[in-house]
Amino acid sequence: MRKIITFLICIAFSLAAFSQPSLIKVSGNKFVDETGKTIVFRGLNFSDPDKLEKAGKWTKKHFEEAKAWGANIIRIPVHPAAWRKRGPENYLKLIDQAVQWAKEVNVYLIIDWHSIGNLRTELYQNEMYNTTKKETFEFWLTISRKYAKEPVVAMYEIYNEPTTYNNQLGSCTWAQWKELMTDIITVILANNPKAIPLVAGFNWAYDLTPVKTDPLNFSNIAYVSHPYPQKRSQPWEPQWEQDWGFVADKYPVILTEVGFALPEEKGVHIPVTGDEVYGKTLVDYTAKKGISWVVWVFDPEWAPMMFSDWNYTPTRQGAFFKKVLQGK
């Protein structure tokens, strides 16, 4: 009997290992797994692990719920202020837990350096986003070394939302941004050659038009846009195609923040005001183009929220995207 139990335990561990996410690569304009199968990501943004841990909600259950909603990828936004206050050593313990739980529920992770502003001038939209180029380089040096052998950490989102805030935060040309991104990607790939760095465009990670004539000189990166409903007026599709959608014809594109909130909902703000019309248009357009997306945000307090309480009661946005994620 003991031998049988031992045998069954070994099988269980083998099956668990087999079901864990395999390495994701870039192939042309697609994400593929180790067998060459195309993977289109449909996922959820968590709030900052620091915030969740302080609220007692940084748990495996949160990952299980995201998986049950239908996500195959989870974005982890690391705010520079939280990284400094907790300290890298202690913050990495939270990311270690995310890696373990993600493997257990079989979802991928994006680690996101969640700053908003002008990294070149080191001027930012809010104190919580304050960082320096040195700190940013050190963050990615640390992350790329520590998780180089963790395929579940599928992507490294170098900088959340680049913006000059209409030059209030200084200037930054695409050439300057490209040079800075190239330097950071060089560090990442030197420490983890299998990493997939993500590069966002300007206008709060919306505008990728410079990629048409001046892409970065890497074959294993992907580009990011955050096309919230008020970034453009209707009809959305032709403007999306012009602003960022065309990039998907040559390179992988992942929309690491999408979502909407109704005008009367808590926390609603420009540019997220919208409804299911936006949601359906986005889902249909990205399906046609093979573009991946991640909904903001799987939290009942940050907006646009996907559920209204810790019973995971869906908001209108949550109900819409939950059905899409579950293929209903």
Which tens digit of pLDDT belongs to each residue from 185-226? 999 999 999 999 999 999 999 999 999 999 999 999 999 999
Sequence length of the chain is: 328
pLDDT of residue 233: 97
pLDDT digits (tens, 9 = 90+) for 89-113: 999 999 999 999 999 999 999 999 9
pLDDT of residue 216: 98
Q: What is the mean pLDDT of residues 59-73?
A: 98
- Percent of the chain beyond pLDDT 90? 93
Peptide bond into 297 cis (omega under 30): yes
What's the mean pLDDT when you consider all of the chain? 95
Q: Evaluate if residue 324 carries a pLDDT over 60.
A: yes
Indicate the pairing of strand 25-27 with strand 30-32: antiparallel
3-state helix, strand, coil in the chain (%, to 5): 45, 15, 40
The span from the CA of 307 to the CA of 314, in Å, is: 4
**Residue 16 pLDDT > 70:** no
* Rounded CA separation 237/243 (Å): 10
What is the pLDDT, as a whole number, of residue 285? 98
Say whether the peptide bond before residue 271 is cis (omega within 30 degrees of 0). Answer: yes
Q: State how far the Cα of 203 lies from the Cα of 247, in Å rounded to an integer.
A: 16
- What is the per-residue pLDDT across 141-155, written as a single tens digit (0 to 9) for each? 999 999 999 999 999
Tokens of 256: 């690491």
Question: What percent of the chain is predicted at pLDDT more than 70?
Answer: 94
Kindly report the number of other CB atoms within 10 A of residue 55's CB atom: 12
pLDDT given at position 20: 78
Q: How far is CA 40 from CA 37, 88, 292, 305, in A?
A: 10, 32, 5, 23
Asked whether residue 6 carries a pLDDT value surpassing 90, the answer given is: no
pLDDT classification of 1: cutoffs 50, 70, 90: low
Confidence bin at 13 (pLDDT 50/70/90): very low
Looking at residue 2, what is its pLDDT?
A: 52
Element housing 50 (H / E) = helix 49-54
- What are residue 294's DSSP bridge partners? 43
**Domains (range + CATH), the chain:** 35-325 (3.20.20.80)
For residues 30-46, give the mean pLDDT. Answer: 98
Please name the residues in contact with 164: beta carbons below 8 A apart, sequence gap of 6 or more: 118, 170, 171, 172, 202
- Extended strands (E) in 168-278: 197-200, 222-224, 253-258
pLDDT at position 8, please? Answer: 47
Tell me the pLDDT tens digit for each residue of 68-77.
999 999 999 9
Give tens-digit pLDDT for 162-175: 999 999 999 999 99
CA distances from 239 to 201, 284, 314, 315 (A): 15, 15, 30, 28
DSSP 306: S
299-314 residue pLDDT tens: 999 999 999 999 999 9
Tokens of 201: 């465009």
CB of 279 closer than 8 Å to CB of 260: yes
> What DSSP element (H or E) covers 11?
helix 2-19
DSSP 328: -
